[in-house]
Amino acid sequence: MPIKWSAVKVSEAMDGMEQQVSLIAPFLDGARVRVEAARQIADLPQYIDQYLVRLITDIDRIDYVKTAIEAVRDAIPDGAIEAEQDRNRYGSRQSLI
C-alpha cells in the first residue's frame, strides 16, 4: 500500500539535519572541554560545580538529537524511498490494466 507522504522528502530532511548536527558537534566538543576545565578550578563551590555538571549534561544531549534522527529514518517503511524514486523516475501514468 503506497504512503501518501513523501518518504524521500523526509529522508532528505534528515540528511540535512544530520549535516547540521555534524557541523555543530566540534563546537560542542570544544565547549565541553572548557566546562570540564572550569570544573577543575581550585576551591570551586559545589553550587557552581552543579551548574557546570548540568551544562555538560545539556551539551551531551546532542546525542539525543542524533538518536531522534535515526529513529525517524527507521520509521520510514522499508522500500518506501525506492518506490517513490521509481514513481518519480517513470512518471505517474495510470496503468491500463
Q: What is the predicted pLDDT for the residue at 96?
A: 59
Alpha-carbon separation of residue 88 from 31, 58, 84, 92 (angstroms): 44, 42, 6, 7
- Number of helices (H), then strands (E), belonging to the chain: the values are 4, 0
The stretch 67-81 carries a mean pLDDT of 94
Q: What is the predicted pLDDT for the residue at 94?
A: 59
pTM value?
0.72
Write down how long the chain is: 97
* pLDDT: which is higher, 1 or 81: 81
User: pLDDT digit string (tens) for 18-69?
Assistant: 999 999 999 999 999 999 999 999 999 999 999 999 999 999 999 999 999 9
